Amino acid sequence: MVSDSSSKRLTIYDLARLAETSPSTVSAVLNGTWQRRRISKKLASKILSSPKRKAIQPTCRPVRCAGSVRGLLA
């Protein structure tokens, strides 16, 4: 069975490969913490301006993710 690459979900790993950087760098840029990690403005702009960046979808919604840490805020 041949899978269509256009239907595959884009991940930060794919974006990291395209930007020639690490997935943790892509994550920091997408989360807005890139300045604290001393990532260059040029690299952050390269990641943020990538046309593929808009295709990245979170693996879970914030509400569902927050529910997975039950018991910590008791």
Domain limits, the chain? 9-67
Average of pLDDT values for 35-57? 82
At 18 the pLDDT is 87
The token pair at 62 is 């914030």
Is the model's pLDDT at 57 over the cut of 80? no
Q: Which CATH superfamily is domain 9-67 in?
A: lambda repressor-like DNA-binding domains (1.10.260.40)
What is the band of 58 on the pLDDT scale with cuts at 50, 70, 90?
low
Report how far apart the first and last C-alpha atoms of the chain are (Å, whole number).
Answer: 48
Distance CA 29, CA 63 (A): 22
Question: Which tokens belong to 3?
Answer: 């899978």
The burial of 25, by beta-carbon neighbours within 10 Å (0-12 exposed, 13-18 middle, 19 or more buried), is given as: buried
Residue 1 has pLDDT above 50, yes or no: no
Q: Given this model, what pLDDT does residue 9 score?
A: 74
9 vs 21 pLDDT, higher one? 21
Q: Taking residues 12-16, report their average pLDDT.
A: 88
